[in-house]
Structure 1
């Protein structure tokens, strides 16, 4: 063992990395991007979580003179409108149906909570002997968002009370969970993301690397010499890997159920169907990466470029509502975003496909888009 030989090997490796601009770029920019994504994700509060408010308050003679003609409910709504953690949509009280609106409280339906101000809210509140029951119907399947909304509501009640009294014991807030619960564990909320990420990881590693190897080695050319068409080849590749993805999902769900008592209340058949569609989108993305790579090394260099945005922008690590506005736009074109939303709706909320039809249609659309592009740009090695 000689120091000169060791230093020569080190020098050779450093020179080869610097000359390979793609590798050098990954080494420099990937740590920077990861740090930026983590920094924004952990340092940002939940923002603009959509909630709906119905104001049934009819006012009353008991309101203190200092408030003038304002109702206490309007003070609360004004507080919510100014708070950046939530985005308020007011429902008209005419023809308001609690049963109908309660069934719509789900993040996938674009709002996470429903705040109901009762009829005698303003009249009863100034009386120190009255306990005001305030009902908040909430989707607890996303723990961070639910916690942020609950904190906002508590601050709102304190603000209302402080507007006429220093006594803050008037309110009895009833958080009515339509999904999840205060005791929902982190593993229960993370499981939908873990499933989606595991499928992505397997598809990227297996399809990108394997497909590139077969294309570079000429295996695909030999297959295409037969009556097999390019479409036959790609569809067969997609279906085969999708079946493997479902087997992998079954293993994850089985381990989660037996070892961690995983929270699953919805249809497993529907969940498998969604994961099958999602796996096809991952295969499409993987084939795109393989088509752009000239060697196996280049193919594997594409893997972090795909995985990192999927992880950070899909809601797997951080809620989408905590991301800066520009990053939320990226989340809208990432299939994993919709896979997590739908899987969470099935596993935690026990909902059917009608509850998340918009997310499902977008997932199908993105899947078709990636698969069509993959078929169009794929070229066997000449």
Structure 2
């Protein structure tokens, strides 16, 4: 082994990199971009969870004539950064907002909440207890009707309510028994894996379809196969749509494998039409392959393809709601989530599989994916024509 020859090889590699300004730029930008996105995504807490409060509590007059309302005190201690609170009087109307996907939860205080809480206070007048026993006292209860399809959000809502109760007890200097109960409107008894699988299914298809198309097109450009295809009577649109059909089919096959493993191994929850979920994933695959064709026009060789991976993986990984909700992303960064196609596929697949929704409720996500697909396909066709010219 000759050190001089080793150093000669090293020198040649650096010389090639020096002559490729695009590679140098990507080498410097990619790690900064990765650190920037990861730092922002992990720096935020779950915030702005839209919930509705329905307060039926009428307060209570204590034996000494004082009017109190524990529900108002608890509501004043709710974290307004975690919860985006809307107040309503109509409980049924509030629940319909959950069913329509407009809010995550309805927090309900029953009519005698303060009275029942006061009766359960550890230190109150013995005369008030003369005809009662502790066991016979009614219990104060807060009911939370919620959408449990995203476990992180469900836990954040419960945590915010429990924290407000604890803070109220601390402020009042007393303890009163309050039971917080949940009634799931969607995804009852769902585990983290149930909300995770729809997201990872969309993410994997997006990643593989984009990278496979990118590698295939760059490989065909280098080998001259693409030039030979362009020399045939095939139109640019026919080439792009042919790839779209192929990778749409591959996306459905990948989704089928992932879903089969999820059902057989992890026993995940599926409430809706699986074929509709496959269609959404196939539509995402079409979007992804068109994106891959676009990116291929920026890569001169296969080695440069690898440098695009951070710009493909990280936004989809961190901004699309695959692993944690969009509400956990800093407010100013959230609009960028809706510029990432997997965001719509993840939301749609989760709604289909955990809520049992059909086309009538997920159509906005489908329309968004169709718009992405049309736009990327048109620009992909244009990029091929430009390359031909």
TM-score (norm 2): 0.86
Instruction: Rate the CA distance shift 1:243–1:40 in 2: closer, same or farther, 3 A.
Output: same
Q: Which residue of structure 1 aligns with residue 54 of structure 2?
A: 54
Contact conserved, 1:132 with 1:172, CA < 8 A, in 2?
Answer: yes
Q: Which residue of structure 2 aligns with residue 363 of structure 1?
A: 369
Of 167, 180, 196, the residue aligned with 1:173 is: 180
Q: CA deviation at 1:191?
A: 0.7
Q: Does 1:111 align with 2:68?
A: no
Deviations 1:253-297 (CA, angstroms, capped at 9, x unpaired): 112222222322221111111112111111221121113333333
Q: For 1:20-99, what aligned pairs fall within 5 Å after superposition? A: 20-62=20-62, 71-80=69-78, 82-91=79-88, 93=89, 96-98=90-92
Instruction: Rate the CA distance shift 1:168–1:22 in 2: closer, same or farther, 3 A.
Output: farther
Of 92, 98, 102, the residue aligned with 2:95 is: 102
Q: Which residue of structure 1 aligns with residue 247 of structure 2?
A: 241
Deviations 1:360-381 (CA, angstroms, capped at 9, x unpaired): 3323322322222222333344
What is the alpha-carbon distance in structure 2 between the residues aligned to residue 27 and residue 239 of structure 1? 34
What is the alpha-carbon distance in structure 2 between the residues aligned to residue 64 and residue 40 of structure 1? 53
Unaligned runs of 5+ in 1: none
Indicate the RMSD between aligned Cα atoms, in angstroms.
2.5
Deviations 1:294-338 (CA, angstroms, capped at 9, x unpaired): 333334432332222111111123321111123211101111011
Instruction: Rate the CA distance shift 1:52–1:376 in 2: closer, same or farther, 3 A.
Output: farther
Q: CA deviation at 1:26?
A: 3.0
Q: Which residue of structure 1 aligns with residue 349 of structure 2?
A: 343
Contact conserved, 1:63 with 1:123, CA < 8 A, in 2?
Answer: no
Q: For 1:128-277, what aligned pairs fall within 5 Å after superposition? A: 128=120, 129-169=137-177, 171-181=178-188, 184-277=190-283
Contact conserved, 2:230 with 2:388, CA < 8 A, in 1?
Answer: no
Q: Which moved further from structure 2: 206-215 or 240-249? A: 206-215
What is the alpha-carbon distance in structure 2 between the residues aligned to residue 90 and residue 310 of structure 1? 35
Q: Which moved further from structure 2: 355-364 or 335-344? A: 355-364
Contact conserved, 1:333 with 1:366, CA < 8 A, in 2?
Answer: no
What is the alpha-carbon distance in structure 1 between the residues aligned to residue 150 and residue 162 of structure 2? 18
Q: For 1:281-320, what aligned pairs fall within 5 Å after superposition? A: 281-320=287-326
What is the alpha-carbon distance in structure 1 between the residues aligned to residue 106 and residue 303 of structure 2? 52
What is the alpha-carbon distance in structure 1 between the residues aligned to residue 65 and residue 379 of structure 2? 67
Unaligned runs of 5+ in 2: 121-136
Q: Which moved further from structure 2: 266-275 or 367-376? A: 367-376
Deviant stretches of 4+, over 6 Å: 63-66
What is the alpha-carbon distance in structure 2 between the residues aligned to residue 63 and residue 381 of structure 1? 89
What is the alpha-carbon distance in structure 1 between the residues aligned to residue 364 and residue 91 of structure 2? 23
TM-score (norm 1): 0.88
Instruction: Rate the CA distance shift 1:368–1:347 in 2: closer, same or farther, 3 A.
Output: same
Q: Which moved further from structure 2: 287-296 or 277-286? A: 287-296
Question: In structure 2, the residue corresponding to 1:173 is in which secondary structure?
Answer: strand
Query: How many equivalent pairs are there?
Result: 372
Question: In structure 2, the residue corresponding to 1:269 is in which secondary structure?
Answer: helix
What is the alpha-carbon distance in structure 1 between the residues aligned to residue 32 and residue 65 of structure 2? 58
Instruction: Rate the CA distance shift 1:365–1:58 in 2: closer, same or farther, 3 A.
Output: farther
